[in-house]
Amino acid sequence: MKILPDSIKNGYLRLMNPIADFLVRRRVHPNTITIWGTVIYIAGGAVYATGHISIGGWLLGLTALTDVLDGMVARRSNTSSQFGAFLDSTLDRVADGFTMGGLAVFFAFSPVHRSPTMVAVCITGLIGAFLTSYTRARAESLGLDAKVGMLQRPERVVLLSAPQAFFGLALNGWVLTIIIYILAITAWITVVQRILYVYRATQPQREAVPELDSGSDSEPSEYRQWGRRSRRETAVRPALKGE
């Protein structure tokens, strides 16, 4: 089960094609796009911390562009590299930290919406976001592509930006509160889904032992261990990032 259907993601990618082509023509390096996207994330987290939730949501909405464009530009300009993939993944963690951290600071110091419970939920959601990425990276080191689960990066970006941009602190902050709970719960569900996926994928699959006919000279077939998939290529950034 996914929060965002693939049809929406594919439609969004088609809309980004002209922008990606323009950036390629202007020879914009994908790492530059990645870095600027992280700067916007940091700014959005800082704005969240000050309590300007709607403005922060619109800022983070811009990162939906950079999250897609860096990979598209890298492939179309033939500038994909292992360092680019490493930088992209590393700065994504910086972005997650500042965004959820900014919301935690807001709930810790807001005179109106101060809530130790929500600070704890924000921290729990941040840990879940980090583990979502880690579980996939660790699975890849085993030769598995654990891109499964409810909450991948596109869904997280949407939930961190769109509701806040349009609703801000509507209904006395309940819209924001519900979104953060959804982020935290679905992140941990995704972590469990990936752990189960890797567990099942790494268990040896045994063939049934055929019954021997009386007097037959045939021997039981040997148990064969299920072969792991080949390692996913990590040097090229995906079209739409998921963790």
| Lookup: tokens for 180 | 């953060």
Evaluate whether 146 touches 137 at the Cβ level (below 8 Å): no
In the block, residue with structure tokens 């023509």: 25
Q: Which whole-number Å values give the CA distances from 56 to 60, 130, 228, in the listed order? A: 6, 21, 43
Q: Is 92 in the active site? A: yes
Q: Catalytic one among 67, 70, 88, 92?
A: 92
Q: How far apart are the first and last CA of the chain?
A: 15
Nearest C-alpha neighbor of 187 from the set 122, 238, 231:
122
Alpha-helical runs (H) found in 142-173: 153-167
Cα separation, 131 vs 9, whole angstroms: 23
CA pair distance 22, 28, nearest whole angstrom: 9
Contact between residue 68 and residue 16 where contact means Cβ atoms under 8 Å apart: yes
Q: Catalytic site residues?
A: 92
